[in-house]
Amino acid sequence: MREAGHWGRVHLQRTLNFLSDRQITSKTSARTIASYWPIGSELCLLPRGMSGDTAQNINSGNPVTHEGTISWQLPLTLPSKELCWFELSPEVAGWPRDRFGLPLPPAGVVAGRFAEHLPTPWIVLVPCLAVDNEGYRLGYGGGFYDRFLAQNEKNCLTIACVPDELIMASGEIPVERHDRPVDLIVSERRLVEPRGDELLAKINLFNC
């Protein structure tokens, strides 16, 4: 995590403002946002009070608005290497962590809560270490999100939040055939729309 407490909070605020300004989060079906549990230097994009120890590092910034009307989800990796989603709640802060610091749901919670997976969220905050201006991400190489996006990218709005200096020029991040770009890049200074027409089309389709 970055040393300054406002890192991550600023990005989350700007993202929520973008969604609110376009009336996206005013729609009932878009009040669910899938975030992620940050690893290493990834920005923390979790709402206040839901991120356990990490909250102490990021919550010194200004309050994020709109949180009260949004339901938050986190991903769970299935044995098939696919992602499913569970609702983020205060109890998650007390769960044990794996070697990456990610929460491990107790067996009883998994059996009861994931018998039927939650619907795929329409708004997905995608983790990344860096991103180029075409929307291609640098991650830890697991490919979980690329597999998810290969099946769902037409049905969800994908957003990557990174420090501004980690938005790279085209070609600076290696791209493989299975890689999937994001729809929107958010830094503390700017919004980058790698394919503006496609982003607008998704927003318009959703708002119809």
Segment 80-111, tens digit of pLDDT: 677 777 777 777 767 777 776 667 777 666 55
* Distances, alpha carbon 176 to alpha carbons 128, 136, 180, 182, 184, in Å: 16, 10, 9, 15, 20
Q: Is residue 184 part of a domain?
A: yes
Q: Is residue 1 part of a domain?
A: no
**pLDDT at res. 131:** 96
In total, how many domains does the chain have? Answer: 1
pTM of the model: 0.81
Q: Is residue 113 part of a domain?
A: yes
**pLDDT at res. 58:** 32
Q: Would you say the C-alpha torsion 93, 188, 205, 176 has a positive or negative sign? A: negative
* Residue 62 confidence class, pLDDT cut points 50, 70, 90: very low
The tokens describing 118, both together, are: 């939650």
* Residue 133 confidence class, pLDDT cut points 50, 70, 90: very high
Across the range 121-131, mean pLDDT stands at 91
CATH number of the domain encompassing residue 118: 3.40.50.10420
Range of the domain at 49: 9-207
